[in-house]
Amino acid sequence: MKGEAFTHFDASGAAHMVDVTGKEGTVRVAEAAGRIRMSPRVLSLVMEGSVGKGDVLGVARIAGIMAAKATSDLIPLCHNVNLTAVGVDLTPDEDGGAIQIRSRVVCKGETGVEMEALTAVSIAALTVYDMCKALDRTMVVDDVKLMTKSGGKSGEYRREG
């Protein structure tokens, strides 16, 4: 990776926000995925809608969307991006004992939306944890990752496998 450098540090090593003033605005899309693993009993209650706090998947979906919109408030050097679409899907996986979470975030702008997609998945998973923790404190949020991104100078990225 010769010639590559971290973009969030200046020549002296100080953290800074990347200047995107000269970048062309393009349509940018990012998709992320992750999961929250839990006991079969709690997963069953979530699927039945029987968790005492309400519709776990619906609340987590809204939390993920809100989180994507607030990413620049949560991650210090992220740009405030004018999002044009955010989708968050939560799918129970009985065989895997988990809820699979995917997000898709779109904007037309000078910088990408990878962090917004990853934040949406993370906060959706944490919302499930919060709503179910009284029933299962052993839940695990894991496998949060960028799946695809498109747009901008760096072009396309698609996770293999």
Task: Kindly name the residue from 19, 93, 130, 136 that is annotated as catalytic.
Answer: 130
Contact present, 46 and 99 (Cβ < 8 Å): yes
Closest CA to 85 of 102, 103, 72, 63: 103
Q: Is residue 7 part of a domain?
A: no
pTM summary value? 0.90
C-beta atoms surrounding 12 within 10 Å: 6
Domain membership flag for residue 19: no
Beta bridge partners of 100: 35, 91
Coarse DSSP helix, strand, coil percentages of the chain, rounded to the nearest 5 percent: 30, 30, 40
Place of tokens 């062309």: 24
Note whether residue 15 is domain-resident. no
Q: Quick check: 144 pLDDT over 90?
A: yes
14 within a domain of the structure (yes/no): no
The reply to whether 160 falls in a domain is no
In-domain check, residue 103: yes
As for how many domains the chain has, the answer is 1
> Does residue 74 form part of some domain?
yes
CATH code of the domain in which 82 resides: 3.30.70.640
Q: pLDDT above 90 covers what percent of the chain? A: 74
pLDDT averaged over every residue in the chain: 91
Locate all alpha helices (DSSP H) within the chain, ordered by sequence.
40-48, 56-69, 71-74, 114-132
pLDDT tens sequence across 4-18:
666 667 777 777 777
What tens digit of pLDDT does each residue of 103-121 get? 999 999 999 999 999 999 9
pLDDT tens-digit map of 18-54: 777 777 789 999 999 999 999 999 999 999 988 777 7
**Residue ranges making up the domain that contains 66:** 26-149
Instruction: Assess if residue 8 is contained within a domain.
Output: no
- Residue 130 annotated in active site: yes
